[in-house]
Each structure stands twice: as C-alpha cells, then as structure tokens.
C-alpha cells in the first residue's frame, strides 16, 4: 500500500462519482489513478518531474508537465473546467501559495488542499526547548535541504481564506496516521499534525456546507 493511501482515501470521500478532477503536483499519478478506480473520475494532472510523468501516463493519466510556480494553470484551462482541483502536501513548497489558490478556484468549482501543521506542539516544543527547526515524520528534512518554504499553521491558512473571501466547506484534522481524535477536534491548531481542507469561493453557487 502506498504510504499516502490513507490520505487519498480521505480525499476520495469528498469526490463525487464521475467528477472532473485536476491534481496539481500529481507526482506519479497515484491519487488520480485511485480516484479513477474508486470514483470514476476524469481529468488531468500537472507535474514538473518528467520521470514521474512517464509513470503517470503509463497508468492512463493525462499529465501536463508544468512548474506550479510558473502560474500557467489558467493558460491551460478555462474557468470552472473542473469540479475539484486538488493539491496534496504541496502548498508549503510553492513560491506564492496565495496566487496558486486563486488559480485553483478559477479553473475549479472547489479546491482540496492538504498540508502539515507547523503549529503542532512537537514543532513548537523543538523550537522553544532546543532552538532548532522541526524535523519529524511530517517535516522529515533538515532546514538546509527542505523543499518547504512557506510553512504555516491551520490558523494561518484559515486567515488567508478569510482574507480572500474563500469558504471552508469542510475540514479534516488528523495525525500522521491520518486518524482523527477527540484531541485534534478540541485543539486542532495545537494537536493536529495534518489538515485536509475543502474550499470554494463564497461568491459561487451555494452547496451543503459542513465544517468539522
């Protein structure tokens, strides 16, 4: 089983059957392949790594080789071309997450974003007690060779959504095993390790919104 299968299973719970999906930073196409099998989705992936693109194509995935920092998404697709635009564990590695979210919600009716929580108590305690940048299962690389350039907390992300008039349709806060608990529900910003957000523009057509 792929190490990220639990996360993909959580995402698939939000995807309606026969949806059209765009996966940003799709890697080898594992998520799109999973959604194609479990939700009968169609769509595209965007990925910069040519070797991963080859693997994705071998799985029957439509892939565009593209750097997310080049802000080309709207050049390839029209407004509302997709039911869902997904970006998993990548928002912290792009140069302008705020602009990328704008693009996501331009070409997609809804966005799904997952990322690690820099505000988790283990990260804070390492900074406070050891004076060192966090390094753990969700942030495995040392500071000098990490791809993460825009680490944030769940509260930071929700503040950005509020500034941009973006509605949080649903949120899932989990541990590294992608399991929720009473503790992550009581204090998500301190005790949650990974979050999954489902978002949309407030000005777009209303849907049945839940926030957990």
Give the model's pLDDT for residue 132. 67
> What is the model's pLDDT at position 203?
72
Q: What mean pLDDT is predicted for residues 17-35?
A: 96
User: pLDDT by residue (tens digit) across 58-92?
Assistant: 999 999 999 999 988 999 999 999 999 999 988 99
117-149: pLDDT as tens digits: 887 667 667 666 677 676 777 777 776 777 777
| Angle subtended by helix axes 5-12 and 30-39, to nearest 10 | 40
Q: Can you list the positions of beta strands (E) in 27-131?
A: 42-47, 62-65, 82-88, 108-116
Q: How confident is the model at residue 211 (pLDDT cuts 50, 70, 90)?
A: very low
Distance CA 42, CA 19 (A): 7
Quickly state the pLDDT bin for 174 (edges 50, 70, 90): confident
DSSP structural state of residue 172: E
- Give φ, ψ of 174 to 5 degrees: -135, 175
pLDDT at position 100, please?
96
Strand partners, 141: none
pLDDT exceeds 60 at position 35: yes
pTM of the entire predicted model: 0.85
CA 151 – CA 53 distance, rounded (Å)? 26
The mean pLDDT value of the chain amounts to 86
CB 195 within 8 A of CB 176: no
**Hey, which of 1-15, 153-167, 175-189 has the most confident mean pLDDT?**
153-167
In sequence order, what are the beta bridge partners of 9?
none
Architecture per CATH, domain 5-201, reads as: 3-Layer(aba) Sandwich (3.40)
Confidence of residue 212 (pLDDT cuts 50, 70, 90): very low
């Amino acid at each position: 089983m792929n190490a990220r299968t639990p996360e993909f299973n959580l995402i698939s719970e939000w995807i309606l059957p026969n949806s059209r999906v765009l996966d940003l930073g799709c890697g080898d196409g594992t998520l799109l392949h999973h959604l194609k099998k479990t939700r009968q989705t169609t769509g595209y992936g965007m990925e910069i790594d040519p070797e991963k693109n080859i693997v994705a194509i071998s799985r029957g995935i439509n892939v565009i080789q593209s750097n997310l920092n080049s802000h080309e998404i709207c050049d390839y697709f029209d407004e509302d071309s997709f039911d869902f635009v997904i970006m998993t564990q990548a928002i912290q590695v792009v140069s302008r997450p705020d602009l990328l979210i704008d693009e996501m919600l331009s070409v997609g009716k809804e966005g799904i974003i997952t990322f690690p929580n820099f505000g988790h108590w283990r990260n804070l305690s390492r900074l406070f007690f050891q004076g060192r940048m966090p390094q753990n299962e969700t942030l495995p690389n040392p500071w000098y060779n990490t791809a993460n350039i825009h680490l944030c907390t769940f509260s930071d992300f929700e503040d950005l959504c509020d500034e941009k008039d973006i509605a949080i349709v649903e949120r899932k806060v989990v541990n590294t095993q992608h399991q929720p608990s009473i503790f992550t529900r009581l204090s998500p910003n301190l005790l949650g390790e990974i979050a999954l957000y489902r978002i949309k523009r407030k000005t777009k057509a209303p849907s049945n919104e839940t926030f957990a």
